[in-house]
Amino acid sequence: MSELDEPEDPSDIWYACPPDEVPAYRMLMQGDVVVLDSGPVCVVSHACSMRRGVGLHPTQIVAPVLERTNTLWRGDYDWMPLPELAMAEVRAVAANLRELSSVATADL
């Protein structure tokens, strides 16, 4: 069985970072990390299901972004490591794919 591999440079998974580099007109995409009042979340809605016609669906599926001690990419498929995402006092940040919830798109 083949295994997923990690990028050579962890920053390769980021389109724009820090947040001030993200254009205001950019459409919400799968993998975006958004800070809500309840804390940071990672958008995990699939690109095909996050839209309703030409607009966005009124809700999106998100995963909470939390601290994770295991930062390896291999074999830990319940978590998506988010290297280089800076959170105060958190050393290993990851999206917990087992705690999905629905959030209003307007809140994102």
Cα angle for residues 13, 104, 101 (degrees, 5° grid): 65
Domain boundaries, the chain: 10-107
Q: Is the pLDDT of residue 105 over 90?
A: yes
pLDDT in tens, 3-24: 666 667 766 666 666 667 777 7
Architecture of the CATH domain 10-107: Roll (2.30)
Instruction: Please give the pLDDT value at position 65.
Output: 92
Residue pLDDT, tens place only, 28-82 = 888 888 889 998 999 999 988 999 888 899 999 999 998 887 656 667 788 888 8
64 within 8 A of 95, measured Cβ to Cβ: yes
Beta bridge partners of 33: 42
Chain centre distance of CA 43: 5
pTM of structure: 0.76
pLDDT reading at 1 higher than 70: no
